[in-house]
Homo-oligomer: A and B are copies of this chain.
Amino acid sequence: MNKVYNFSAGPAILPREAMEAGSRACLEFQGMGLSLLEISHRSTEYQQVVTDACAIVKELLGVPDGYTVMFLQGGASLQFAMAPMNILGDTETAAYVDTGVWAAKAIKEARLFGNVEVLASSKDANYNFIPKDYTVPAAARYLHLTSNNTIYGTQLQSFPSVAVPLVCDMSSDIFSRPVDVSKFGLIYAGAQKNMGIAGTTLVIIREDWLGLGKRKLPSMLDYKLHADAGSMYNTPPAFAVYMALETLKWVKAEGGVAAMQKRNEEKAAALYAEIDANPLFKGTSALEDRSRMNITFVMEKPELEKEFLKEAETAGLSGLKGHRSVGGFRASIYNAMGLDGVQALVTLMRDFATRHAA
CA–CA, A75 and B72, complex, Å: 11
Task: Specify which of A20, A24, A40, A41 lies most central, judged by the most chain B CB atoms within 10 Å of its CB.
Answer: A40
Report which of B11, B26, B190, B234 forms a contact with A40, defined as CB distance below 8 A: B11
Report which of B12, B78, B199 forms a contact with A199, defined as CB distance below 8 A: B199
Of the listed stretches A29-37, A92-100, A159-167, A205-213, chain B binds: A29-37
Report which of B1, B8, B105 forms a contact with A219, defined as CB distance below 8 A: B105
Does A153 sit within 8 A of B, measured CB to CB?
no
Report which of B38, B39, B198, B319 forms a contact with A239, defined as CB distance below 8 A: B198
What's the minimum C-beta distance from A27 to chain B, rounded to whole angstroms?
Answer: 5
CA–CA, A23 and B25, complex, Å: 8
Evaluate contact between B38 and A11: CB separation under 8 angstroms.
Answer: yes
* Chain B hits for A3, CB < 8 A: 33
* Chain B hits for A198, CB < 8 A: 41, 235-239
Evaluate contact between B73 and A237: CB separation under 8 angstroms.
Answer: yes
With an 8 Å Cβ cutoff, the count of chain A residues facing the other chain is 64
* Chain B hits for A77, CB < 8 A: 219-220, 233-234
What's the minimum C-beta distance from A316 to chain B, rounded to whole angstroms?
Answer: 7
Does A112 sit within 8 A of B, measured CB to CB?
yes
Evaluate contact between B240 and A8: CB separation under 8 angstroms.
Answer: no
Binding site for B on A (CB under 8 A): 1-4, 6, 8-14, 19-20, 22-24, 26-27, 32-35, 37-41, 73-78, 80-81, 85, 105, 108-109, 112, 190, 192, 197-200, 216, 218-221, 233-240, 243, 316, 318-319
